[in-house]
Amino acid sequence: VSRSTKMRQAALQSLRLAFSSKILSEFLLERRLMLTDSLEKCLKKGKGEEQALAGTVLTLLCLQMGSGPEGEELFHSLKPLLISVLTDSTASPGARQSCAMALGMCCYIAAADLE
């Protein structure tokens, strides 16, 4: 595993811890586009553990953003990618499970349409 992969995984673990222990919604509002972009890259280009961590961080980010327009925007921008990883039979079971959880939780929290 390359050093950059380990660094991204460490960063994702730090975000998971921070988002789990503090309400940071005001802080995150200004940084949500950068975070969304980074999580998207981890889901697209990462493998296994990195994708699983990205799914978990995405779930926590969605919880932080809440049911308002920011949470809805986050969910709609990453929903196709979550579905892609979830339905990819070559993705690791952990990554698929994490993306399934993220899809369900974000849909519950932030999806405006009932479908």
Q: Tens digit of pLDDT for each residue in 62-105?
A: 999 998 899 999 999 999 999 999 999 999 999 999 999 999 99
Instruction: Print burial letters for 19-44: b (CB count within 10 Å at least 16), e (below 16).
Output: beeeeebeebeeebeebbebbeebbe
pLDDT at 58: 96
Q: Nearest CA to 59 among 26, 92, 15?
A: 15
pLDDT at 29: 87
Mean pLDDT of the chain: 92
Q: Report whether pLDDT(5) > 80.
A: yes
pTM, full prediction:
0.91
- The mean pLDDT value for 24-48 works out to 93
Copy the structure tokens of residue 54. Answer: 């990205």
Count of helix runs (H) and strand runs (E) in the chain: 6, 0
